[in-house]
Structure 1
Amino acid sequence: MHPIKPHLWFNNQAKEAAEFYVSLLPNSAISFVSKIANTPNGDCDIVEFTLAGQPLMAISAGPHFKFTPAISLMVNFDPSREAGSSAQIDEMWNKLLDGGSVLMPLDSYPFSERYGWIADKYGLNWQLILSRPEGEPRPVIVPSLLFTGDVAGKALEAIDFYCSIFKGGHRGNIAPRPEDVGPDKAGTLMYGDFNINDTWIAAMDSAHPHGFVFNEALSFLVECDTQEEIDYYFNALSNDPKAEQCGWLKDKYGVSWQITASMMTDVFKNGTQEQIDRVTKAFMPMKKIDAATLEKAYRGK
């Protein structure tokens, strides 16, 4: 089982952004930087990095998608851990504030004595929170989904949907609204989280008129060891045939996923440029990934 990797789409700043992000937290590093050539968007940098132990991918592939608050990275500063003080939150906040924009000021709130929501200079959204999560330990980084627009009110339904697809998927903490609050109805999620493929993800509902929805700027990469796994996840999640390309898909809530062969990461990390080019040429026309075809391309057959 491979952890799910948040995948970040940049115009041309993937490497620069990754270098900035790994400077923010301990246990962070760039794993590799590679290049895929001759795509419809020209040559694209591919970067894999870990952030406080959470693996992520980033790509420079043109100005097609922009980050929105629909998906953010929540950073848990747990006082029971070494990385868990207000001073550490303030330090990271100030780094993100340089060129960034504040959505919710860093302050005390009913749900946390220290919390803030900010978009960094690249547009990526972060929620920094001083927290003591109940139950199972939570990682430092937890991607967070905000269900708005046509899917507002469906966060809990989505949690159960994702948990039903991934083996061992289960709910974590669930906090529904006890009563109507403005446009948000009783029973919709103030906050909830769930675990799929050993990866914690959070979800919230907001019926306010935000003007943004999920898009491809931040997708979730699922690495599969077999074609059977690829077929299963692709068929279970895909809800829009027009969005199917190179292993990408959109589910019924509009969240973007990439269902890929795990060997592709090894190709990008350890393959020669010639091998990377052959594999790239092979997967570009695909909708659902064909692992056997990629393996043949990698071996030059």
Structure 2
Amino acid sequence: MQKITPFLWFDGQAQQAAEHYVSIFHNSRIAQISHYGEVGPAPKGSVMAVIFELEGQEFIALNGGPGFKFNQAVSLFVRCEDQMEVDVMWERLSVGGETSMCGWLKDRFGLSWQVVPNLLWEMLQDKNALKSQRVMQAMMQMKKIEIAGLQQAYDAV
């Protein structure tokens, strides 16, 4: 059992969200589904919570009702090995949601994600400040992160 587990509040969509996320990431599964009983804010027998794993990381999704909504103050950060993985994650996570700048998106459940290639972090930490600044400038113009555009900015110095 991991020490810290992200706990996500949904309004009746916990199971659908967990199933969606599990379908996107490898090494993922639904571990447990619990249901409301006689006492609870939702009808007896409806899904209360879903424990699921994404890439081995445990999450809990709760059907807590309409009281709280997700916002960009918290996001899930997806590290990608290459452009193909960025493209796949971006496409699958953004279906029914909305895309934003700098690799950020909201999925169809309102949860914010950042889809970022590992290479970006290497470039941003380059000892040559001009290179890292040019990469940052290029990234700030992108919605989905494009490694070719980052590389072009990096090599231009």
Query: Which sits farther off after the overlay, 156-165 or 168-177?
Result: 168-177
Cross-structure match for 1:172 = 31
Cross-structure match for 1:296 = 152
Maintained 8 Å contact 1:173/1:194: yes
TM-superposed CA distance for 1:268, in Å, is: 3.4
Distance in 2, matches of 1:158 and 1:244, equals: 20
Distance 1:268 1:187, change over 3 A: farther
Which of 52, 71, 87 is matched with 1:215 structurally?
71
Structure 1 outlier segments of 4+, above 6 Å: none
Higher helix fraction: Structure 1 or Structure 2? 2
Which of 142, 145, 163 is matched with 2:5 structurally?
142
Which structure 2 residues correspond to residues 29-108 of structure 1 after superposition, within 5 A? none
| CA shift digits 1:259-280 (9 cap, x unpaired) | 1111122233454322221111
Maintained 8 Å contact 1:169/1:197: yes
TM-superposed CA distance for 1:297, in Å, is: 1.9
TM-superposed CA distance for 1:219, in Å, is: 0.4
Q: More relative contact order in 1 or in 2 (CA 8 Å, sep 6+)?
A: 2
Higher strand fraction: Structure 1 or Structure 2? 1
TM-superposed CA distance for 1:179, in Å, is: 4.3
TM-score normalised by L of structure 1: 0.48
Maintained 8 Å contact 2:125/2:132: no
TM-score normalised by L of structure 2: 0.88
Which of 141, 154, 157 is matched with 1:285 structurally?
141
Maintained 8 Å contact 2:8/2:61: yes
Distance in 2, matches of 1:274 and 1:187, equals: 59
| One-letter amino acid of the structure 1 residue matched with residue 117 of structure 2 | A
Distance in 2, matches of 1:188 and 1:271, equals: 54
Which of 87, 97, 113 is matched with 1:240 structurally?
97
Cross-structure match for 2:56 = 198
User: Any gaps of 5 or more consecutive residues in structure 2?
Assistant: none
TM-superposed CA distance for 1:174, in Å, is: 2.2
Distance in 1, matches of 2:106 and 2:79, equals: 16
Aligned length: 156
Distance 1:298 1:139, change over 3 A: farther
Aligned-residue CA RMSD (Å): 1.9
Q: Does 1:224 align with 2:83?
A: no
Which structure 2 residues correspond to residues 115-130 of structure 1 after superposition, within 5 A? none
User: Any gaps of 5 or more consecutive residues in structure 1?
Assistant: 1-137
Cross-structure match for 2:19 = 160
Distance in 1, matches of 2:71 and 2:78, equals: 17
Maintained 8 Å contact 1:154/1:188: no
| One-letter amino acid of the structure 1 residue matched with residue 4 of structure 2 | I
